[in-house]
Structure 1
């Protein structure tokens, strides 16, 4: 470590602001500071709270801390802000009258919920009769922004009333009335959510803040629990998150924040730049350390990046506090920066592809050394096509794009064609897809006939399936019959079964799932992951919508997409030997040898400012507004982030012609970052036939080869060991390919029972009464009507669950036992000849008393005798791992390990003797070795008949 890094790692108590420039090792510093707090015995692992913004960043932080701790144990609570807020809410829900099983609505679920309850919001201007759903996304956005700013509906109502009273002109009165309409809709939305037992993402932070503010006893417990608080990417926090942090840190003020105001690029997510600019206002005595030694980029790149970011003065920390943030490179000089102005976007994309192809074919570079960074997802297409033409593998990673993947496009076409027999466009796409493979010439014959007779394409296909039309190929008849049969069958089932089950049966009937299970190439793995993501959207829709049927799902697809529901497709890994095409937002935290910042036209980067459809009153905004143009400043910071992704060389490229009549100007950022506009001449145009080659392939035709994961990065849940050893191929289907499966009724039963037991045990732990009615309400709220043979079957299982929980509670109420820990998470690292693996899990219940300690794991499976229960406990590697994690935390082994089978009331217990633990460790090592080798053979046996993958497993065929 350099002296500044060491100073940050070894800082004592009290507030600390680490201003970490790009490439200065901020994540390493945070991880080392956490490790140092533990190794120096200033804090136990579970007394440290570390917060970041994405699950991926949290996982990376956990992995780094794992590697640093000498005894390989990491029980630090490292999570996102929303996970932290949710954890507090679940634990102390009763304090604020929140149901402990409150369901968190994702953004698309909130859009569905708002759409379903639109008539109850009292909207006029924001629900026009011509397009009632037009403002759904804008309303959700302003509600979310209000929560980021710690603005309650009553605050917005009061401000609207105040503005209406003070309005002097008709325009001012109209603006005030619109604000009043939004405020009332906001209040109605909150009331409707509360009635249904829902919260949204903003509530996870805001309600946690409300809880700590209003309940000193809870605040005291949180402050006592977490003696040290550390925050990554502090520049991206919003007002409510910073308020929550200050309360969590409390009087000890042991809060360390790491950030860089020059890399604040998430204003659209509510990031409050004032937090990092004003940290020392909240903590006047805070120590401040600047990390300026850059280990990523050449000095020329850093100097140009510094030159452009200074255009944001005086609204920068460096300018305000008199710091020196000019980065110093520790890398040898490289090719530097090249800037080229092209005739058209097509010549630009071809020039980039040619440059990469020449470098790769020359043997000095690999495709993965290059990245093409763009301002938006929509800008990617010409670069994808040019790379295809050049035969260069590529991977696209944006912050959206799932719906643009071919397998998802086909599914959407199927759903729309089933829902609307008159949707000829969707049916055309479906028929021509790989699922049916109808020839283009046959499609043309059918569409001409449909146009001529003024009929939907579906009617023409139905007739042609019986009496072939002139011009159709001889092999078309079976395909047309198959299409007709599939659609008729799906329409028959669409009103009878949930959307997810209908889609699953369709994919199963087309052999898609079996094909994915048999394939081992990277493109199939990504296809499976994309399908899993789509099934997650369908599942969430079913949880929120009153009636989960295909017609309603299709009806809500557009509001979902308008609300921003286009999640990213399966992510690429940096190990894939492919050119990475990314938005600059998606590239944050990454680095590449050579970066092409492309599409640098004024109006495209920087994007033209597009004001929000609905704004909060400025008087309520707590973020300090800059003296300059905030939008341009944010775009400039984004450009700065893009530049500093480059290690050795940076290419800046722009085009004059984007396929429209206007000639585009080069981005102002080009001249800002260079001493002078060094615009190299564009290569001359290609011969006409070569230029046409850009149309030779579409997205996805040059997939990347699979890459190996980084060594030592294996993270496994404690249940994974037994899952792998039972059947490695099933493990691959479920945890590697993540092939979607229908939810089984035993899973529904188990989840609901575990959820009810969790909240009952939390109440017991805290000495609170938890009535039987409350217990059953949690159970029924966690229930899902999926996977049952019939409605009668579901009712019988529901009643069985009620009886099981009633009996368990009766038994517990007679007992004096009280849980010490409930659903407590742990993480530990185990090493062996095959490499290390981080094992993570949760103890359902831990009892600790004078009589000894016990880990209890609850099961909802069937056992017929105490002997069978004991045998299962004695063979459980999972229990052994739980015992080892307990030892790592408390310095001793538990006295007893128990499997509690709640249906029968039987228990099986085992003592964690050395031979028991050694056997489990050997089994764990076997599983880790197999998973690391990607060795997934099938283990056919009696249990296959109950396997969710039985119909697609090649070992059974």
Structure 2
């Protein structure tokens, strides 16, 4: 049951407005999630079909929680809403329209590490060694170009001005060719490919323009150019749009977020109406005053005045420390003291930092002091080596063209297939226009590979073919657990009996538990659906709110979360704000916004 009177007057107005275009500037802690939830419920109550509503969120966790709340308000019909992150929604569209972009619907999604590996292999193959031109710098450049919708041909035509640029163009061209050959896309492709598809196929564009009657976008200040372009393409005379954001919380320029989208929205949708949510429900007056004292120094921002009915609260505490070890010790001491009073639990505490490297000293001290902790934003679970190895097996079972995944697992667990063998097989594949998977079946034709190794390669392919045949008859859980058992990973890590192998064993056990849980909750899910979820999941999506442990996380990872007691560590020049963030006003302003988010 939807009772709009539970909202404050400004929230009510924002929910009830259903004009062509709406911008909601929602200050920190102003209840924007509640407003979005009620707005979708309000639309459903007033005749909008759930399948005609597209709601785009910043994280999968936010999407799932919001959908659950909407179901509570209006019932099961809300499950038909198109709700998720930009990447998950447009991956869904791309799988449906795969044949129109010369892909198969079972394409793999490459994460940052996969992308890095592909660039590295290309630079190795092309024998590119230029001072300052690292794999990481090239990968970042390609990501930047894609986020700005600049393809290799345009880059070569407009931006190549010297030898270094020429080499980047060569790598970029080959990178795109390899992705297509591997039936794979990187994160940027999940936004770029739909733009290309819509631009080249009016029929498909019309199909989705006519499907959606209302589009809602959360965290609009963190959208990039490609995401905003997609929104403009989908909005039509029969489709309305509401965007929700706060320019004071724009902290992702380093990964392509374009704060200018908020100003562009006002120009592109001249008939838009602006709503402001300024009442803060989360913070005390003291916290608001502290945050405002910093953010008010920024010049380029939307005018708004946050206020709260909450009490003054406690004063902020400044802890002076000699160094990072002393800081970690003092935080541990403070937490143990508060816990001893039996008023708080470990999970009530969070320690925020500017960079992941700052957590190391805290981890050491907290381990010695026997204080339980969890880390968000370190090495993400699905990027841990042994977990990623198993996922690579599953990706090859789903998509045999995925060369990067085959390369990753060809000798895991060890089966005597070395780098020289792999190099010769790749050369054979390129010469005969074969995939690496096809080449494994013709390994006996590859020159200078010993018979023993040929048999090992053949055995590897037989193993994969067994599970390829089983994938449609077994559930995701049954298939994955059978594979892990046949690979002997649990036995292998147990027998090694080292602290590192014990950690890896725990990760494999956690992976098996996660797959089993997914399989129970999604009984009809196909393997590629599970792999897509894994590819797009973040550490925030996996956060266990029930675990009683102190949370360590970067300020970027903390956005949107709240804790009873928060420590912001490393508040000194060159750490927070970072040393290289004083060169331009825009970067200094982003450091202020980051501190504002932390407070």
Identify the TM-score tier after normalising by the shorter chain.
Answer: 0.7 to 0.9
Equivalent-residue separation in structure 2 for 1:119 and 1:347 (angstroms): 44
Secondary structure of 1:49's counterpart equals strand
For the Cα contact (< 8 Å) 1:234–1:259, is it kept in 2? yes
Change (3 A) 1:368 1:213: same
From the superposition, tell whether residues 243 and 593 of structure 1 become closer, same or farther in structure 2 (CA, over 3 Å): same
Alignment of 1:19-34 (within 5 A): 19-34=25-40
- How far 1:523 sits from its partner (Å)? 12
CA distance in 1, matches of 2:578, 2:100: 46
Query: Alpha carbons of 1:331 and 1:406: their partners in 2 closer, same or farther (altered >3 Å)?
Result: farther
Out of 563, 570, 575, which is 1:599 matched to? 570
Change in CA separation of 1:401 and 1:207 when aligned onto 2, cut-off 3 Å = closer
Q: Does 2:308 correspond to 1:302? A: no
1:507 paired to 2:489: yes
| Distance in 1, Cα, partners of 2:76 & 2:57 | 24
In 2, the alpha carbon distance for the partners of 1:143 and 1:60 equals 34
- What corresponds to 2:44 in structure 1? 38
- The whole-number CA distance in structure 2 between the counterparts of 1:113 and 1:511 is 28
Shift of 1:417: 11
Which residue of 195, 199, 203 maps to 1:209? Answer: 195
Who is 1:244 aligned against? 230
> How much has 1:178 moved relative to structure 2?
1.7
User: Residues 405 and 332 from structure 1, CA distance in 2 versus in 1: closer, same or farther, beyond 3 angstroms?
Assistant: farther
The 3 A distance-change label for structure 1 pair 123 and 180 is: farther
CA distance in 1, matches of 2:381, 2:139: 21
Displacement of 1:75 in angstroms is: 1.0
Once residues 532 and 189 of structure 1 are traced to their aligned partners in structure 2, the CA distance between those partners, rounded to angstroms, is 35
CA–CA distance in 1 between the matches of 2:536 and 2:357?
Answer: 15
Q: How does 1:694-713 map to 2 (within 5 A)?
A: none
In structure 2, C-alpha distance between the alignment counterparts of 1:4 and 1:16, rounded to whole Å: 14
The whole-number CA distance in structure 1 between the counterparts of 2:194 and 2:326 is 53
For residue 320 of structure 2, the aligned residue among 314, 333, 341 is: 341
2:138 paired residue number: 139
Deviation at 1:50, TM superposition (A): 0.6
Name the CA shift for 1:219/1:354 in 2 (closer, same or farther; >3 Å). Answer: same
| 2:321 aligned counterpart, secondary structure | strand
1:278-313 per-position Cα deviation (integer Å, ceiling 9, x unaligned): 320111221111111111111111111111112221
Q: Give the aligned partner of residue 289 of structure 1.
A: 275
1:356 aligned to 2:342? no
Q: Contact between 1:51 and 1:80, CA under 8 Å: does it hold in 2?
A: yes
Deviation at 1:245, TM superposition (A): 0.5
Paired residues of 1:377 and 1:398 also in contact (CA < 8 A): yes
Q: What per-residue deviation string (whole Å, max 9, x for no partner) do you get for residues 793-848 of structure 1? A: xxxxxxxxxxxxxxxxxxxxxxxxxxxxxxxxxxxxxxxxxxxxxxxxxxxxxxxx
Answer yes or no: is the 8 Å Cα contact 2:493–2:504 preserved in 1.
no
Q: Is the 8 A contact 1:395 1:572 kept in 2?
A: no
Residue aligning to 1:366: 345
Match of 2:258 among 252, 269, 272: 272
Aligned to 2:396: none
Closer/same/farther in 2, CA of residues 218 and 527 from structure 1, 3 Å limit: closer
Distance (Å, rounded) in 2 between the aligned partners of 1:187 and 1:523: 37
- CA pair 56-348 structure 1, distance change in 2 beyond 3 A: same
- Provide the C-alpha distance between the structure 2 equivalents of 1:505 and 1:494, rounded to a whole number of angstroms: 15
Tell me whether 1:375 sits opposite 2:374 in the alignment.
no
SS at match of 1:338: coil
Tell which deviates more after alignment, 276-285 or 90-99. Answer: 90-99
Q: Which runs of 5+ in 1 are unaligned?
A: 165-175, 421-491, 516-521, 535-542, 544-563, 612-626, 644-957
String of CA shifts for 1:885-912, please: whole Å, max 9, x gaps: xxxxxxxxxxxxxxxxxxxxxxxxxxxx
Answer whether contact 1:530 1:569 (CA < 8 A) is retained. Answer: no
TM-score, reference length from structure 1: 0.47
Q: Is the 8 A contact 1:312 1:628 kept in 2?
A: no
Distance 2:246 2:271 in 1: 19
Note the alpha carbon deviations across 1:21-68, whole angstroms, 9 max, x for none.
Answer: 111111111111111100111x11001001123222221221221122
Once residues 509 and 288 of structure 2 are traced to their aligned partners in structure 1, the CA distance between those partners, rounded to angstroms, is 41
Q: Partners of 1:407 and 1:115 in 2: how far apart?
A: 21
Matched, 1:633 2:580: no
Is 2:247 the counterpart of 1:261? yes
- In structure 2, the residue matched to 1:62 is 67
User: What is the TM-score normalised by the length of structure 2?
Assistant: 0.73
User: Relative to 1, partners in 2 of residues 1:183 and 1:503: Cα closer, same or farther, differing over 3 Å?
Assistant: farther
For each residue in 1:129-178, what CA deviation from the matched residue of structure 2 results, as whole angstroms up to 9, or x when unmatched? x99xx7223222211211111112222112235xx4xxxxxxxxxxx332
Q: Distance in 2 between matches of 1:35 and 1:245?
A: 22
Specify the alignment match of 1:392 in structure 2: 371
What is residue 153 of structure 1 aligned with on the other side? 152
CA gap of 1:567–1:31, structure 2 versus 1, over 3 A, is closer
Question: 1:930-954: per-residue Cα shift (whole Å, max 9, x none)?
Answer: xxxxxxxxxxxxxxxxxxxxxxxxx
How many angstroms apart in 1 are the aligned matches of 2:227 and 2:40? 21
Q: CA deviation at 1:78?
A: 0.3
Rg larger for: 1
Could you tell me which residue of structure 1 aligns to residue 432 of structure 2? none
Residue 402 (structure 1) shift: 4.8
Q: Which moved more, 1:1-10 or 1:364-373?
A: 364-373
Unaligned 5+ residue runs, structure 2?
A: 1-6, 391-407, 417-454, 465-482, 498-502, 516-526, 528-534
Give 3-state SS (helix, strand or coil) of 1:308's partner: helix
Corresponding residue for residue 819 of structure 1: none
Distance 1:591-1:189 versus aligned 2 partners, 3 A rule:
same
Equivalent residues of 2:387, 2:507 under 8 A apart: no
Superposed CA deviations along residues 702-737 of structure 1, whole A, max 9, x for unmatched, are: xxxxxxxxxxxxxxxxxxxxxxxxxxxxxxxxxxxx
More helix as a share of residues: 2
Length, aligned pairs only: 495
Given that 2:286 and 2:314 are in contact with CA atoms closer than 8 Å, whether structure 1 keeps it comes out as no
Higher relative contact order (CA 8 A, sep 6+): 2
Deviation at 1:582, TM superposition (A): 1.4
Query: CA distance change for structure 1 residues 285 and 98 in 2, over 3 Å: closer, same or farther?
Result: same
Secondary structure of the residue that 1:342 maps to in structure 2?
A: coil
| Map 1:723-734 → 2, pairs under 5 A | none
| Match of residue 528, structure 1, among 490, 499, 509 | 509
In the alignment, the residues of structure 1 paired with residue 486 and residue 592 of structure 2 have an alpha-carbon distance, to the nearest angstrom, of 46
SS at structure 1 position matched to 2:235: helix
